[in-house]
């Protein structure tokens, strides 16, 4: 029988478009220190480190985690780096959970960090084209990189295939409303990159297409920052909780899936995000959740694109496939609705510091569960070409 695992501490750095003042060493140390202090712990109390860092090129070094082991005070202890595309943070939490549940460690640090905009395109004298080129090295190197594969166009493939099957769904007015809603929710997140960037649905509708069908204000932004969590097994977690006065938020379900990266028969079904479906339903099964719409109160999902947010919500079982616009049209995620979706502003407004993003989402879910006295949250990460990877966690507050 696996042991119960809980979150007993959390911390994030401010998420910013660029941190000229800090390297990833400093960002990682800030987040690790904040999470340990939140749990009332010192480095000597922590048994192991799980690093979520997506892209070596962003950090400008291979095995970018190696200097961090000493910087966070965990020298001579276990340290492992997880890199799973956009889902890096969620997969890092999944790995840390497994080690604690399996009695390898009692107390561990989950630490996500990413730089991005050190990458710079000297032709356009701007960072973004070089940042997306750097991500472009993640595409298939034999058949796709050289014909312009990008993260955006690969997710757009999935979205357009979904729209081929469900032509009445993902209406531009609805995606614009969701983006606008997220921009309102981010106001209360002082760590967000775009805390005061509120936009109207009209502004979203009028923003220019970047990759059809995605508009500029429907896409996550590139971010630099770090996020950290402390996981502990049941007895340790309860002791830490008594010490800090903060309730334990338990991780009751974890589920993951990586799909095929090529499309066609026996391969990826382009109109689905099966990774999200399988990841979420495996997590529900572990948590004993039969009806997610009744059981879940908060969703902190990886909104790389608003359209994908809608499809992911359908794959999670909150709305039927083909009727994802009900999220807004039936008020499911609008203020006062059944679900609170991305109260942190999501990756579109809080920011997408890749390895840290899903960990930031868990930081937000934990804090919202405690603050609002709600019961359960779903935390999600998606990544790789055509939304191939997903990892989901169920957090519960007793």
Partner 1 sequence: MVEKKVIPSEYIPDVSRKTVTIAGKDYLVVNDAMFTFYRRSMGELSQFFLALRDEKKVLGCKCTKCGILRVPPFMTRCPDCNFALTELVEVEQVGVMNSTPPITYFATSMFQHMAPFGRGRVILRGADTALSIIVYTTTGILVPGLVTKGTEVKIVFRDNRVGEIIDIFCVPTSELAKEQIARKGLQESEIDWTAAVEPGLPVADENDVATYKDALNAMQDIVVQMNETERARKDTAGWKRSIQVKTTGGQFAIEIDDGNIRIEEKVLEAPDFVMVCKDPKVLLEGLAYKGSLTDAVIMKRLWISENMEFTTIFKLDRTARSLARASKI
The CB-of-18 to partner 1 minimum distance in angstroms stands at: 10
User: In this complex, which beta carbon is closest to partner 1, that of residue 289 or of residue 314?
Assistant: 314
Residues that bind partner 1 (CB under 8 A): 20-21, 57, 60, 120-124, 128-130, 132-133, 136, 140, 142-144, 146-150, 152-153, 156-157, 160-161, 163-164, 206, 208-213, 262-267, 270-271
The CB-of-63 to partner 1 minimum distance in angstroms stands at: 13
* C-alpha dihedral (133, 52, 114, 397), degrees to nearest 10: 120
The CB-of-128 to partner 1 minimum distance in angstroms stands at: 8
User: In this complex, which beta carbon is closest to partner 1, that of residue 26 or of residue 329?
Assistant: 26
387 vs 312: CA distance, rounded Å: 10
User: In this complex, which beta carbon is closest to partner 1, that of residue 38 or of residue 118?
Assistant: 118
The CB-of-151 to partner 1 minimum distance in angstroms stands at: 10
User: In this complex, which beta carbon is closest to partner 1, that of residue 149 or of residue 363?
Assistant: 149
User: In this complex, which beta carbon is closest to partner 1, that of residue 149 or of residue 389?
Assistant: 149
The CB-of-354 to partner 1 minimum distance in angstroms stands at: 16
364 vs 188: CA distance, rounded Å: 11
Write down the residue that tokens 């609002």 correspond to: 372
The CB-of-90 to partner 1 minimum distance in angstroms stands at: 25
The CB-of-148 to partner 1 minimum distance in angstroms stands at: 4
User: In this complex, which beta carbon is closest to partner 1, that of residue 51 or of residue 162?
Assistant: 162
The CB-of-120 to partner 1 minimum distance in angstroms stands at: 8
279 vs 263: CA distance, rounded Å: 20
Minimal CA–CA distance to 50: which of 259, 383, 358, 275? 358
Count of C-beta atoms within a 10 Å radius of residue 68: 22
- Distances in Å between the Cα of 234 and the Cα atoms of 132, 336, 338 are 42, 34, 30
Residues whose CB falls within 8 Å of the CB of residue 216, separated by 6 or more in sequence, listed in order: 207, 208, 209, 210
Q: Do residues 197 and 182 touch, judged by C-beta distance below 8 A?
A: no
Write down the residue that tokens 């589920």 correspond to: 255
User: In this complex, which beta carbon is closest to partner 1, that of residue 41 or of residue 116?
Assistant: 116
Give, for 382, the enclosing helix (H) or strand (E): strand 376-383
User: In this complex, which beta carbon is closest to partner 1, that of residue 7 or of residue 270?
Assistant: 270
Residues whose CB falls within 8 Å of the CB of residue 322, separated by 6 or more in sequence, listed in order: 165, 166, 168, 169, 314
Minimal CA–CA distance to 86: which of 382, 386, 351, 288? 382
């Amino acid at each position: 029988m696996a042991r119960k695992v809980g979150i007993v501490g959390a911390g994030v750095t401010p998420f910013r478009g660029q941190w000229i003042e800090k390297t990833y060493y400093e960002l990682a140390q800030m987040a690790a220190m904040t999470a340990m202090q939140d749990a009332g712990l010192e480095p000597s109390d922590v048994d192991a480190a799980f690093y979520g860092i997506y892209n070596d090129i962003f950090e400008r070094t291979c095995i970018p985690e190696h200097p961090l082991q000493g910087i966070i005070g965990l020298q001579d202890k276990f340290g492992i780096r997880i890199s799973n595309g956009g889902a890096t943070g969620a997969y890092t939490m999944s790995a840390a959970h497994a080690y604690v549940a399996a009695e390898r460690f009692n107390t561990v640090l989950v630490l996500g960090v990413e730089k991005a905009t050190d990458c710079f395109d000297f032709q356009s004298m701007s960072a973004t084209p070089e940042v997306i080129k750097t991500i472009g090295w993640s595409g298939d190197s034999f058949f796709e990189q050289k014909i312009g594969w990008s993260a955006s166009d690969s997710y757009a493939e999935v979205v357009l295939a979904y729209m081929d099957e469900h032509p009445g769904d993902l209406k531009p007015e609805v995606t614009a409303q969701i983006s606008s809603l997220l921009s309102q929710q981010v106001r209360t997140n002082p760590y967000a990159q775009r805390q005061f960037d509120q936009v109207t649905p009209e502004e979203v509708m009028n923003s220019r297409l970047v990759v059809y069908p995605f508009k500029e204000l429907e896409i996550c932004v590139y971010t630099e920052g770090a996020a950290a969590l402390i996981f502990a097994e049941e007895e340790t977690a309860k002791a830490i909780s008594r010490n800090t006065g903060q309730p334990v938020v338990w991780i009751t379900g974890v589920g993951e899936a990586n799909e095929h990266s090529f499309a066609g028969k026996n391969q990826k079904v382009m109109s689905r995000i099966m990774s999200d479906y399988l990841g979420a339903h495996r997590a529900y099964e572990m948590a004993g959740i039969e009806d997610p719409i009744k059981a879940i109160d908060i969703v902190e999902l990886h909104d790389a694109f608003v359209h994908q947010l809608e499809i992911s919500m359908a794959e999670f079982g909150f709305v039927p496939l083909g009727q994802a616009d009900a999220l807004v049209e039936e008020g499911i995620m609008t203020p006062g609705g059944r679900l609170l979706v991305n109260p942190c502003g999501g990756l579109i407004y809080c920011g997408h510091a890749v390895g840290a993003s899903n960990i930031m989402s868990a930081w937000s879910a934990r804090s919202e569960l405690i603050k609002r006295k709600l019961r359960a949250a779903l935390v999600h990460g998606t990544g790789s070409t055509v939304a191939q990877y997903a990892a989901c966690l169920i957090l519960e507050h007793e």
